[in-house]
Structure 1
């Protein structure tokens, strides 16, 4: 009998772990470089998706009417809420878990699948009532077709969570990008053939179906029979708190669209929804890779407080630097943005774009703070933060309601700057390795830069020094004025200057791994 050398046996063990869809031990050895490379892959694919989504938003707006978008938006507000119920936060529970078994994931899979089917059935039965609520008969058939998406996506949740848990960012990028592009192509093809709102319905059904097929092909895990497990209850509690937080966030975000559609009809809602989409598409395309990369990486660092703090603050500050100043610029050039991208027939959407862009200055930071709760298993704090944030948003919507749809959008923006962001920092930094002072210090440079950008461009326009013959020229001149100012402010502030230095060293870090102190510079 020949004994296998221990080194070869250890290498074989590591190899088998690497191909085990439930194990994450092999990730610990190279977590930082894997996260950096995963971030590049995620942001690269997100750039492609952003181009597709942004281009699709513009193209479909020129092919379809505000009425078509308003009809689909009426049911989409409810669909997003039901989608969260189907998910139950169990993908986050799978990703956050340090160790997980085949029985546990199988049980979670069947829970998600059953909930997806139940919600689809409920939506099918409720379709006539929804159409009656809005007074739009077309919503009956739209609702029934969109219900199919819940059955399909319920079968995808745990496979998707395992891909993210394993940090398989290339597979995730292929699935997301491919499904996005094909679904958009289907929508554009239908729209050019005069399908009207059915083009948007086809896009929403095709996306989840394509994702299901690709996810099952690229994730080798297959579910077994459900079984009783003592840990399932804990995972359901975590998922329940996460779902409660998301339900509160989405319910408050959907409340405005429900009220606008009910009170002022699909045309006003079409302007409102397209404006929100125009602003939120870029943010979502940055937020998605942030969660895809940072969530599993930070969860693995939960038991190493200093490494966790340094890694989070580095991500947090970089995210704020690349999102806050552009949002501020869009807020003061909204008329040019709408004119260039949607055309003159959509100018009624300009006040909405200005308000949503103002709110967008704070949204990325609030989303990043939510990572603290998820990666630290602080599900109770997550739900409490959601309740506080919900109260602020509902109060803003009710305050703006008497001033029409534009009043709602303006009140939403004001609440973000004065209430929601300060409360998120206060609650998010109340415990754990990252405190309130860390969050505020990391955020202030980007917040100050955003204010300077908005103030300077608005002042130039008011003084008549920034006059353009068309929207493209106006945006180009505004960017030419804002970009050097933002860069100069970041260079003048020591901590943001260090972040720029880290970005310059990124290629070397990807090749050789980061220096021991490179993750600490953001928070020191």
Structure 2
């Protein structure tokens, strides 16, 4: 499968998953759950995922990025994944009462037990899904991702409507894991077996030893957010913070999340062929930024009306957090594949130290913000975003060899296009329109005008993304035209 065709399938999976997750989150938050319910689940999930860093141990990256794959060893790799997954599930289940005691929330324990049950099933999808990525079979991966999202979110929505409260979300996690395991093995069945000897899995474990340190550091930085907010500002504040972070993160995933997995496999091929990565990486940066920056500018400008229209008045406290989180995302998408490219180039040891520095900054900056207020915690996302960008921009420049002047030129074009996308909203605000009370129709009109301005700016600035958009549209139209002619 070609890179562009794989990207189309991967984007289709991201869009389908986003629509399912977004629709479920809106209905659940607006009709059935309060911020305290979502906050309770967020703390439980974050606590469980702090332990789940042991689960993958880099198995997915090892299989999808390995230059030569010994397929007869795949059942051994799957067996290791199952052993680790069951161990993680046991640790989470045992630690559940302690976590509930630490947060003075007895209801946390049952949620953690349900999440632990999902970790029993998760490893059965690890190796099959990694094989699909390695083979760039994103058509089958579409079925896995979209199908599991539909099963999990459908379960959560149905149980929330029945009055299950926060536990509805935990049951959704369990349903997602079960569906993903079934669908992944339907696409690429791999039966786990206990490794016959250590020699068969030693290469994977050698890769995993450093990958675990890397995953642990990243997990502390990412998953500790809800834990820190929950401990310092309370469960309800965690719900507001989590909802704002989730909405911005879901939009980022919708816009460019599909590109990362495709380009990881594509860069692996370029590495094996000995081709330089600087030029294709800058091209990737241009596509990432021009899409995401426009989306984040729009999200920051329409934070209040979006929260009111989607989630209702109970969630308006998350609107300022959403604005700051969206602005922080501008930095986080400016250096894509910051973990994957160093791994492909065999720089895992140095990446571990860089990631530890990143994690320390994340925890320190968020903790300082939480000691001030909830909104200061939101502002801390922008400060941390800049620090994050500085760390990885310097690191990847040395690793790949691109010039900062070329990177800044990419940013300039993408920034102009992003401002053009937000121009109708900015002009409406300057003319006296209260963006906070925008109706749905007015919001759609201004957003549509922003898309047109964005497309025009792509053409005027001769942005590389315009060529990609034309090629993808052509790839979509070609089979349709062929069928019509037939």
Cα deviation, 1:134-192, whole Å, max 9, x if unaligned, reads: 10111111111211111111222112111211111111111111111122111111111
Question: Which residue number corresponds to residue 188 of structure 2?
Answer: 219
Question: Which residue number corresponds to residue 333 of structure 1?
Answer: 302
> How far apart are the structure 1 equivalents of 2:95 and 2:436?
51
Aligned length: 478
Assess if the C-alpha contact under 8 Å between 2:423 and 2:450 holds in 1. Answer: no
Q: Quote the offset at 1:274 in angstroms.
A: 1.2
> How far apart are the structure 1 equivalents of 2:321 and 2:79?
41
Matched, 1:442 2:410: yes
Q: How does 1:39-438 map to 2 (within 5 A)?
A: 39-62=7-30, 63-102=32-71, 104-228=73-197, 232-306=201-275, 308-416=277-385, 418-432=386-400, 434=402, 436-438=404-406
Assess if the C-alpha contact under 8 Å between 1:361 and 1:450 holds in 2. Answer: no
- Taking a change above 3 Å as real, the CA distance of residues 395 and 387 of structure 1, as seen in their structure-2 partners, is same
Higher radius of gyration, 1 or 2? 1
Structure 1 vs Structure 2 CA RMSD = 2.7
Assess if the C-alpha contact under 8 Å between 1:306 and 1:433 holds in 2. Answer: no
- My pick for the range that moved more, 285-294 or 392-401, is 285-294
Q: How does 1:476-515 map to 2 (within 5 A)?
A: 476=444, 478-479=446-447, 482-494=450-462, 496=463, 498-508=464-474
Assess if the C-alpha contact under 8 Å between 1:112 and 1:154 holds in 2. Answer: yes
- My pick for the range that moved more, 481-490 or 344-353, is 481-490
SS across alignment from 1:132:
helix
> TM-score when scaled to structure 1?
0.84
Assess if the C-alpha contact under 8 Å between 1:331 and 1:353 holds in 2. Answer: yes
SS across alignment from 2:337:
helix
> How far apart are the structure 2 equivalents of 1:371 and 1:435?
20
Cα deviation, 1:405-449, whole Å, max 9, x if unaligned, reads: 221111122221x32113211101212365555544433322344
Assess if the C-alpha contact under 8 Å between 1:370 and 1:428 holds in 2. Answer: no
Structure 1 unaligned segments of length 5 or more: list them.
Answer: 1-32, 513-524
Q: Quote the offset at 1:500 in angstroms.
A: 0.6
- Taking a change above 3 Å as real, the CA distance of residues 238 and 161 of structure 1, as seen in their structure-2 partners, is same
Cα deviation, 1:99-135, whole Å, max 9, x if unaligned, reads: 1214543332222211111111111111111100010
Cα deviation, 1:309-367, whole Å, max 9, x if unaligned, reads: 44433333212211111101211221111011111221111111111111111222334
- My pick for the range that moved more, 149-158 or 50-59, is 149-158
Question: Which residue number corresponds to residue 36 of structure 1?
Answer: 4
> TM-score when scaled to structure 2?
0.90
Assess if the C-alpha contact under 8 Å between 1:429 and 1:439 holds in 2. Answer: no
> How far apart are the structure 2 equivalents of 1:478 and 1:207?
36
Cα deviation, 1:41-96, whole Å, max 9, x if unaligned, reads: 11112211111111111011012111211111111112222222111111101111
Q: Quote the offset at 1:508 in angstroms.
A: 4.7
SS across alignment from 2:242:
helix
> How far apart are the structure 2 equivalents of 1:96 and 1:253?
24
> How far apart are the structure 2 equivalents of 1:465 and 1:225?
65
> How far apart are the structure 1 equivalents of 2:324 and 2:226?
15
> How far apart are the structure 2 equivalents of 1:378 and 1:442?
26
Cα deviation, 1:286-307, whole Å, max 9, x if unaligned, reads: 4542233222221122033546
Question: Which residue number corresponds to residue 481 of structure 2?
Answer: none
